[in-house]
Chain A
Amino acid sequence: MTAVIATNETILVVGGGISGMTAALEAAETGKQVVLVEQRPYLGGRVTQLYKYFPKLCFPTCGLEINQRRTKQNPNLTILTLAEVTSLTGSAGAYTATITLAPRYVNERCTACGDCATAVEAEFADEYNYGLSKRKGAYLPHRMAHPARYVLDPAIIGTTDAEKAKAACKYDAIDLEMREETLELRCGAVIWATGWQPYDAAKIQPYGYDRFPNVITSVEFERLADVNGPTGGKIVRPSDGKEAKKIAFIQCAGSRDRNHLLHCSRICCMASLKQATYVLDAFAEQAEVNVYYIDLRSIDRFEDFYNKVRANQNIKFIKSKPSSVVADQDGNPVVHGVDTEGYNRYAEPHDLVVLAVGMEPAVKKDAFPISVHINREGFIEAAPENGGIFAAGCAADALDVNRSAQHATGAALRAIQVINRVARAEV
């Protein structure tokens, strides 16, 4: 059984992405007791799936490593992975949370040696790579996963694969008897950091994401560029593995659209500019990038990055929201539309189309376990009625990593204030 000690002076952080990790660490490092609940088997969330950060083009692994070390060094922080908050009741200073823990089937004796994965035969679509590759039924979610422990896919439990995995483990780390657990804990404040998910591109019918293999999303493209990704960092198109040298980026795919997401997702412009540099890095003079946009959002220091990218002759900017994408006989996606600067009709074939999909709140409006003020875009808005619940990062707005970390630090401070009030009252 998992045992967690928690009191009214404990801060519960829901979600262990970059925002949740930051908030949990900032609070724990001030000496507060923090319980961090993460649905995935590892911390870091969607940031772990990024190849590079904008605008510095540095690797997220660097900052993640620092955060992982901070979590290991901090005795005030309890991490629960494969965990979900199923109910939350009470008010500021006195909440009770019910948490459901899914079985990992691997205990803390795991050394991440990988013998179980070698032994297991069944393969599944790798969610870490958005289904662009396969993983084994016993797997380490990604190279830098923290906790660095393997996971057994629940689908292999009860099959011979599970027995093979158990037999292969030299450390007696595989426990096939693990069952779902439910625990109840008290907490004084809650930081809600459930983050975002990419908008379902198939809903943008004219762009044919569900019909054409060579129309992919920006998050998938990020995996393609990653040297640890499904193609080893080769930018190739899904239909035939051909190098994708001529790429269209379609901005506002789902964002700023009353048929889809009402808000501007804020990160997609910079993400596409960043991804354009991946294409240049891969193909140099042979790269041909077309960015189709309505408006470009790259403020402050981001503007320098934009100007640098814009200066490259191989990257063109077309002010136009494309009306549709169709595939020609060779499987090349052809982008159709009319541009705003001259009203010229175009039908431009590409090797690959990347949809810069918007950020959607990961938790649906009606799925929150407790009443909080949610705006029409589905994000949590700061309000007195939220009591001791504070949103951090993309649960509150469409934010980039930098702003998520700032926002999460602010949320930690709010939570700490509630805990201090409780502590004073109890003295």
Chain B
Amino acid sequence: MGDTSKNYRLNFLKEVEANVEEGEWVKMCMQCGVCSGSCPLGKFWDHPPQEIFMMIRAGKRDAVLTSNAMWMCTSCYNCIVRCPRELPITHIMHGLAHYAQRLGLAPAHQPTAKFAQLFWNNLMKKGRVNELKLGVKLYFMNGIGEGFKTSLKMKDIGLGMMKTKRMNPMEVIGGHALEDVKGFHAVMQKAQELEDQRLANQRP
């Protein structure tokens, strides 16, 4: 019979269940593949969701966590709508991406990861998203040269938005904020403390 413990290990599945948001759903996948076929960006992924779930069960920890697959999810929810077992696939993908990021395993220069970080940093400052600053940051995400090129390309749209009052150029200085920014920061700090505590307790 041989040693079955080696080729039938569910350690990584258990790790996912414990650490990934909605990870406990992974074992419910019946490998029908309707999610993969329904994903509008599916052909650009390293591994479609169905394969990711199988890889988790097969214990392919590194291959899953360093993959760019879950970073390609655009939250269109096609997969969730069609999944015959109602797996929250979109949420699992984001959960996996977050977990990989936390462990520092996310692929370097992953544009979605970069954008997510920019968005988060932007939001954390004033409790409101400063779209002008976020846009500029996004344009210059890959260097000054490309930043100017993109800015020039988008110039007309930007001016149009200003003209129709969809974008306020004054946002560059400071920008709008929550009424109680201090309180907001306190809330976020507390939340971070609780999360750190939770993670510390989780480690064996």
Contact = CB atoms under 8 A, between A and B. Distances in A.
A336 interface: yes
B48 A321 contact: no
Given A259-B84, A343-B51, A206 B38 contact: yes
Given A322-B37, A337-B34, A343 B48 contact: yes
A258 B85 contact: yes
B191 interface: no
B30 interface: yes
A322 B31 CA distance: 12
B43 to A, nearest CB: 6
Contacts of A322: 34, 37
Contact of B37 (A256, A257, A336): A336
Contacts of B35: 323
Nearest to B47: A343
Interface string A314-328: 000001111110000
Contact of B48 (A206, A336, A338): A338
Given A321-B32, A338-B50, A259 B37 contact: no
B83 to A, nearest CB: 8
A338 B50 CA distance: 9
Given A252-B84, A258-B84, A321-B32, A337 B37 contact: yes
B155 interface: no
A326 to B, nearest CB: 12
A126 interface: no
A341 B81 CA distance: 23
Interface string B156-196: 00000000000000000000000000000000000000000
A133 to B, nearest CB: 34
A345 interface: yes
A321 B47 contact: no
B111 interface: no
Nearest to A261: B84
B43 A345 contact: yes
A358 B158 CA distance: 54
B146 interface: no
Given A337-B37, A343-B51, A258 B30 contact: no
A263 to B, nearest CB: 12
A323 B38 contact: yes
A340 B47 CA distance: 12
B60 interface: no
Contacts of B84: 252, 256-260, 321
B82 interface: yes
Interface in A340-362: 340, 343, 345
Interface string B21-53: 000000000111111111000110001101100
B62 interface: no
Interface in A244-259: 252, 256-259
A294 interface: yes
B32 A340 contact: yes
B34 A340 contact: no
Which secondary structure dominates chain A's binding surface? loop
Contacts of A259: 81-82, 84, 86
A345 B42 contact: yes
B33 A340 contact: yes
Interface in A289-336: 294-295, 319-324, 336
A324 B38 contact: yes
A320 B37 CA distance: 9
Contact of B34 (A258, A321, A343): A321
B38 A343 contact: no
Nearest to B79: A323
A96 B50 CA distance: 55
B32 A320 contact: yes
A338 B32 contact: no
Contacts of A324: 37-38
B21 to A, nearest CB: 21
A294 B30 contact: yes
B36 A338 contact: yes
Q: Which of B36, B37, B81, B82 has the most CB of A within 10 A?
A: B37
A324 B78 CA distance: 11
Contacts of B86: 258-259
A323 B31 contact: no
A338 B85 contact: no
A291 to B, nearest CB: 14
Nearest to A293: B32
A19 B86 CA distance: 34
A350 to B, nearest CB: 16
A163 interface: no
A339 B42 CA distance: 13
A321 B82 CA distance: 10
A256 B28 CA distance: 13
14 contacts: A252-B32, A252-B84, A257-B84, A260-B84, A294-B31, A295-B30, A321-B37, A323-B33, A323-B37, A324-B38, A337-B36, A337-B37, A343-B36, A343-B48
Given A321-B37, A343-B47, A345-B42, 9 more contacts: A256-B30, A256-B84, A259-B82, A323-B36, A323-B37, A338-B33, A338-B37, A340-B32, A345-B37
